[in-house]
Amino acid sequence: MQKGKLFFNIIITISILALILVIGYVAYHYISNYLEIKEAEKVIQEFENEVIVVGIEEPKVEENQIETQTPQTSQTPTTNKKTTTVSYKGYSVIGTIEIPKTKIKALIVDKVTPSSITAAVGVLYGPGLNAIGNTVLAAHNYRNGTFFSNNKKLVEGDKIYITDSQGNRIEYSVSKTYTTGAMDFSYATRDTQGKREISLSTCVTDPEKRLVIWAKET
């Protein structure tokens, strides 16, 4: 009888400790994720503050030139070569991506590495943000609502907004969504007929597959 009671108490103690560990693990990841989001939001604000300055900077005009300037529109990238100096996790921030459908706004960094895409969206291939041609952006599918977790919800016509380091904010419209093999990179080198396009690439449940989203400038 005494042994049975002792065994029962041990089981209860182990169960309580296990529950505490599980709660602690969940709380740690929740708090870590919250702090990461807040840090990223702070850097996004810093980036946006800087590109506002970049975007309104007046180009230099020589004394013998007639000052005739055409107002810029949000759909026409500026030729101003100045860029921002914002960095995040050791990588240069070159823009932001907004996807209203999935309620995502994230930083874009200049390269894709195992560590860079744990913190932001990275440029995998192409001429660069908002440049003529197809620029491929890659990010993780953490299945927690961050980055490209909900890209599977995107359908033709959904909007994506890319702001580059020169202050240009371009609207793109989703034109195609599909899953392909991890080794298929043909979508990256497609001919855009002189148009601006982007491709979003992320992993899926099958590690040998990738979800790819095509989007064209609106």
**Topology classification of domain 2-56+79-217:** Sortase; Chain: A; (2.40.260)
* pLDDT on residue 35: 75
Report DSSP state, residue 130: T
Q: In angstroms, how far is CA 38 from the centroid of its own chain?
A: 15
SS3 164: strand
Q: Where are the domains of the chain?
A: 2-56+79-217
10-residue stretch averages of pLDDT, the chain, 218 residues long: 74 88 75 79 92 59 41 42 79 96 96 93 97 97 88 97 95 98 96 97 94 97
Beta-bridged to residue 96, according to DSSP, are 107, 163
Beta-bridged to residue 161, according to DSSP, are 98, 171
Alpha carbon distance, N-terminus to C-terminus of the chain: 77
- Pairing label, strands 104-109, 121-125: parallel
